Amino acid sequence: MAGATETRLISRDTSGVDAIAAVTIGLSALLFALSLAALFEIITISDPVAGIPIVTLLGGILVLLGGVVIGFGIGSYVGVVETQPSSSAGLVASATFSLVWFALGGIMAQVIGVGGITWLPIALIIGGAAFAVTAVLREDIGSTLPAGAVTLFIGVVYLTGTIGPAWIWELSWEQQASLTAEFVIPVGTLFCALLTGWAAAKTYGGFGARGRRMGAYLLIYLNASSIVGVLFILIAFTTLKGVPGLFTGATVGLGVGPTVFGVTLPISLPFVMNGASLFNEFQGVLPAIVGTIWLVIGAVLFAVPLGVGAAVFLTEYAERGRFTQVVEVATNGLWSTPSIVFGLFGFAFLVPRFGGNKSLISGMLTLGFMLLPLVLITSREAILAVPDEYRDASAALGVSKWQTIRSVVVPAALPGVVTGVILGVGRIAGETAPILLTMTGGTFVPGGQTADVIGGFQFTATPPFVANPELLQATTALPFQLYALITAGVGLGDTVSSPEQFQWATAFVLLFIVLSFYAVGIGARYYFRRKLQHE
């Protein structure tokens, strides 16, 4: 890691300008949050806040920010503000600003209503001018003036009411679509907030190399935190929406639950303990959960020995050459193959070989094919990470190669392999597309049809001598159940009291199961790594 610059060698005193720049960044952040809230209709743009309409408020802040940013640039240029600007803002900034102004010019020309393609030269001229300003002039002007001007312009447009809450731009396309104020105003504000935030961060760093670092870091940190934010929102939202459906009809008390292995559970959760039936008070998705579990078990039983064995051969026995290269290409090819293509393959290859119907075992093997490259890649990495000293030490004891592999290499690589398998399982447990064509039956599956693979084995007198009708039956799984619930749509009304709750609860249970695999996998990796470091 490049940690050498963590101490600031050159440190200026915090001046008034720095403080104003910091406030500008803060204001941009506030504006960013406000526009996001408006975009997702948490606040309505037509509502007034403290007597001022929100559009006017946004416009006012934009004008203020734009003015301040331009002020920074001019102040630095005339020498009022102490900075170390470079001679130019650089190609990336120039390209960005010319694009922004090109788009703005084009839209203005279209809205004003120049005919034909007259908008193109207008947009080109404006974009070119922005490029010239950014690229030719000194950095302090080049990176503030175009940004400030955009913000100022859009702010004035909002302030004057040219774009008000009722504004609409109908795109005269054959398939009708319009840009409404509810979309344009927040997005425009969002965009300007990014620009002014970036420009103010550059000012805060005093332009030059440090200024650029500041501006770039602002955007990169914003990006990283929004990715985490999106993840958090997705999970929190699904949980909030799904929990009520999950606990529909839930009771806690001695002896209310179903009996598992002779023990009566003290809790009854119909959603995950019932199948679907006309006589049920509460419908549930038990068959889907059991189906998913069997799918995962089948896929793991198929793919893990194959993948780990292949990884052992590739790392320990095979010499690097044409053969290993082909295997590598094939593995990566399998990894990138779309899941629906696996489904098609299972439909064409497996289904006719297992009785001609969709069946549990076809689904297991299809998912196994998908899991194989994941297991192979991660196991190979884990085995490669085992230090050669281990192998040498074992060989020096006069132990044969296979015994070295069995008792030294594989145990040492086991944590990595296990982690890889768990993460891979998390991935395939949520897959819908491959099992769509190979395994799945109806939307609502009665509890009686819950797959019972172990009890299903039979021996027959004719080849292939072993039969298991449970494996050869179509069944359901959680991802498919969710898909079926979405496509079935309104028709659910008859069987479930609240279809929407039922859908969200299914989504939540699926997400919960998949993310538990991930949590276990990531936790295991973390644990093993710490253990390794302590040794």
DSSP state of 269: -
* Residue closer to another protein, measured from CB, 103 or 466: 466
CB of 504 to another protein, least distance (A): 8
CB 199 within 8 A of CB 143: yes
Question: Counting contacts by CB under 8 A, is residue 17 touching another protein?
Answer: no
Question: Counting contacts by CB under 8 A, is residue 305 touching another protein?
Answer: yes
Question: Which of 266, 338, 411, 469 touches another protein by CB under 8 A?
Answer: 338
By CB under 8 A, the residues from 173 to 192 that bind another protein are 173-180, 182-183
Contact region with another protein (CB under 8 A), list: 11-19, 60-68, 243-251, 309-317: 309-317
Sign of CA dihedral 204, 151, 126, 171: positive
How far is it, in rounded angstroms, from Cα 121 to Cα 106?
9
Tokens, residue 525: 């990796």
CB of 234 to another protein, least distance (A): 6
CB of 43 to another protein, least distance (A): 15
Question: Counting contacts by CB under 8 A, is residue 507 touching another protein?
Answer: yes
Buried b (16+ CB within 10 A) or exposed e, 158-181: bbeeebbbebeeeeeeeeeeeeeb
**Binding map of another protein across residues 474-503, x = CB under 8 A, - = no contact:** -----x--xx--xx------------x--x
Question: Counting contacts by CB under 8 A, is residue 327 touching another protein?
Answer: yes
Question: Which of 12, 125, 221, 411 touches another protein by CB under 8 A?
Answer: 221
CB of 37 to another protein, least distance (A): 14
CB 492 within 8 A of CB 394: no
Question: Counting contacts by CB under 8 A, is residue 195 touching another protein?
Answer: no
**Binding map of another protein across residues 123-162, x = CB under 8 A, - = no contact:** ----------------------------------------
Tokens, residue 32: 């960013």
By CB under 8 A, the residues from 81 to 120 that bind another protein are none
Tokens, residue 264: 């009566």
Question: Which of 437, 451, 471, 496 touches another protein by CB under 8 A?
Answer: 437
CB of 335 to another protein, least distance (A): 7
Host H or E run for residue 280: none
Question: Counting contacts by CB under 8 A, is residue 448 touching another protein?
Answer: no
Tokens, residue 420: 């890889």
From residue 25, give the alpha-carbon distance in Å to each of 106, 196, 200, 226, 369: 29, 7, 6, 17, 51
Question: Counting contacts by CB under 8 A, is residue 272 touching another protein?
Answer: no
How far is it, in rounded angstroms, from Cα 397 to Cα 407?
13
The neighbour count for residue 329, using CB atoms within 10 Å, is 10
